[in-house]
Amino acid sequence: MGRFLLCGVLAAALLSPPLLSPGLSAGRAEAADGELRRIGAQIDINDNELAGLIAGGAEVKVKGRSSGRIWLLGADVQLDAEVLDSVYAAGANAKLMGKIQTDLHAFGSRVTIGSAIEGDLMATGSRLDVTKDAKVGGATTLTGSKVSFAGAATGPVSIDANDAEFAGSAKSGLRIEASRVHITDSAVIDGDADFYTSAEPIIDAGAKISGHVQRHSLAEVSALRALEANGPLSAILPALFLLGSALMAGLLLLWLGRGGAEGAIDELIDSPAASGLWGVAGLIVLPVAVTLLTLTIIGAPVGVLALLALPLFLLLGYACAGLGLGEWFFNRLGEPRSAGLRAFHLLAGLVCLGLLGLIPFAGSIVLVVAVLCGLGALLRTMHDRLRGTTRV
């Protein structure tokens, strides 16, 4: 479960007190222990004397050497450094190289790993590529839709995927759970190879496997049992889906309606209670209005389109709540921010809302309140703009 909460852990680190003071909401800060902390649309660090790093932004690039842990969060994350401690990285596109003395934890949509890792490697993403330059001294655990491993692992290797390709070496055995398994001719496996798959694994003639090769049914896979109604992932996967959907909706709103997004943020910060009441009213009035429109011949097409657009409005409301929460954390003074910083505020706010949503019983209430407040703020902004008024 910890792998799926990596974004939340990184966000919590970025929301620590040194970054909440107004003068440090974007830029550079240094903790008492010498750990460097930076937030901004674009972060580019090349330093051979880092004592640790926490960085977040739309684009994050880090080179050099660090004696302490490194935490990275961003849309595009690149690391090519020598790190004498652990690395935690999350990003839509993450490329991680260099040398890591302990563990590497990575999360993202597209993750490429070419690091020399003395400890464990744990990575989760839609597409995971472990290149031939990668070396892992500890255990390797990879979870993704499509996983490719071409590196060298001293410890055991475990892969959970839909499509898995193994072209590297494993000195302590290999375990793969996937619908499709391909072992290439360059693979070297010292020990047993266990494949949990619905079809026969494809093993090229040149592949070298010293132990036993066993194929099991997918019904025996523990990962599938975790997806059952009471499984540990049953609440996390919907939360991740909601996070991704709201992030896309929020970015679309920032791109096409930046003024409306700024107005909704102001409404949420200045009067959250009134926004919530507007959201409740909107949730009642909109479906009634749509129903009445569908009863008329002229308004029927408009009513159908409005009914189809209602889920999008709710998603935009949730995205506005994320923007408002990010504004409250990072921009208490209400200063103008760039599109890149707004996107980062959106991501951080949605991650925090997602973590709160995982709290038993109270989590669902938090999400409902967030949607109502965000929807209400959006409706109030649209109302003011249609009337030609602006709030001061």
In a domain, 375, yes or no: yes
45 is written with which tokens? Answer: 């660090």
The verdict on 28 and 172 lying in the same domain is: yes
The verdict on 69 and 212 lying in the same domain is: yes
**Mean predicted lDDT score pLDDT of the chain:** 80
Phi, then psi, of 379 in degrees rounded to 5: -65, -40
Q: How many CB atoms lie within 10 A of CB 41?
A: 18
270-302 residue pLDDT tens: 888 888 898 888 888 877 776 776 677 666 666
Domain boundary pick from 199, 225, 251: 225
In a domain, 230, yes or no: no
d(CA 77, CA 125): 14
Phi, then psi, of 391 in degrees rounded to 5: -85, 140
Q: 27-30 and 36-39: which strand pairing?
A: antiparallel
The H or E element that residue 210 is part of is none
pLDDT of residue 247: 83
Mean pLDDT check: name the lowest of 14-23, 31-40, 136-145, 192-201.
14-23
pLDDT of residue 122: 95
Provide the number of structural domains found in the chain: 2
End-to-end CA distance of the chain: 45
What residues make up the domain containing 333?
A: 236-387
pLDDT band at 83 (very low <50, low <70, confident <90, very high): very high
Average pLDDT, integer, range 322-334: 79
Q: Which residue matches tokens 């999400």?
A: 367
In a domain, 348, yes or no: yes
In a domain, 271, yes or no: yes
Q: 104-113 and 70-83: which strand pairing?
A: unpaired
Q: What percent of the chain is predicted at pLDDT more than 70?
A: 79
* Residue of 52 and 247 predicted with greater confidence: 52
The verdict on 179 and 288 lying in the same domain is: no
SS3 label, residue 305:
helix
The verdict on 107 and 203 lying in the same domain is: yes
The answer to whether the beta carbons of residues 76 and 56 sit under 8 Å apart is no
The verdict on 161 and 275 lying in the same domain is: no
The verdict on 244 and 301 lying in the same domain is: yes
pLDDT of residue 284: 84
d(CA 338, CA 336): 7
d(CA 347, CA 351): 6
pLDDT of residue 20: 32
β partners of residue 121: 104, 140
The verdict on 329 and 215 lying in the same domain is: no
The verdict on 162 and 214 lying in the same domain is: yes
pLDDT band at 180 (very low <50, low <70, confident <90, very high): very high
d(CA 18, CA 13): 10
pLDDT of residue 120: 96
The verdict on 267 and 179 lying in the same domain is: no
The answer to whether the beta carbons of residues 185 and 191 sit under 8 Å apart is no
pLDDT of residue 204: 95
The verdict on 247 and 290 lying in the same domain is: yes
CA distances 68 to 54, 174, 364, Å, are 10, 32, 37
